[in-house]
Amino acid sequence: MQIVGEEDLKAAVSARKRLGALYAALCPLYLAAVLVLFFLSPHAYTWYMVGNILLTLAFGGYSVYFFTVRFFDARCYEKYVERVVNAISAKEYGVFLRREGTVTKEGVPFEALIFTVRGDEREILSVKRDLPFTAGEKYVLEVSAGVLTKYEVTDGTV
């Protein structure tokens, strides 16, 4: 089963661009609103000023959230997919042992999976959670940059 591939990279790039476009569309709307309030304000301008402060608080707050969470996550995910897709992948046989919870690397949350590979325990990361691995079962794992990109169940005879 394919977990990460070229399609995911395209999707990640387009998701990041979509977010950027959304923010770019909001900027002129915000600017237009505050400039209209500013230049149309009368000498008794208190409420117009309060309006502009509230708009700026909302837009500024959203900008911080956008760049530190939404856009940051999208960018990290895109970089991760790009690295995984471009790295040399290795095929290995492993026996699934257990799940070790969430590991965050470079801004991307992974599920840590422990397999026995060539007699040693090895942590392999997966960006998709709750993959249907069964403990003690043998799998063909395709790993790229330490991340699981594809797996298949084997009948144990390989």
Partner 1 sequence: MERFKASLRTEWFKYLIVAVLSVVVWVFAFGMYHAPQAYEKISVFFAGNVKDYSFEKVAADAFEELRKVELSSADPNANTFAHKYELVAFNGSDVVILPESVAAGTLCNGSFVEQEPCGEMFTQTEKDANGCDVEVAYGVYLPEEAMAALGKYFTFGNERYVVLIPGSSLNAGTLTRHAFEFEKWLVGYVQA
- 102 three-state secondary structure: strand
Tell me how far apart the alpha carbons of residues 3 and 126 are, in angstroms, rounded to a whole number: 8
Instruction: State phi, psi for 129 to the nearest 5 degrees.
Output: -95, 160
Tell me how far apart the alpha carbons of residues 80 and 87 are, in angstroms, rounded to a whole number: 11
Decide: is 107 part of the binding site for partner 1 (CB under 8 A). Answer: no
Tokens 């090895």 correspond to: 122
Using CB under 8 A, which of 12, 52, 96, 147 touches partner 1? 52
- Residue 18 or 91: the one with the smaller Cβ distance to partner 1 is 18
Using CB under 8 A, which of 57, 91, 100, 137 touches partner 1? 57
Whole-number minimum distance, CB 47 to partner 1, in Å? 11
Using CB under 8 A, which of 11, 19, 30, 45 touches partner 1? 45
The two beta strands, 120-126 and 108-117, are antiparallel
Under the rule (CB under 8 A), what is the footprint of partner 1?
38, 41, 43, 45, 48-49, 52-53, 56-57, 60-61, 63-65, 68-69
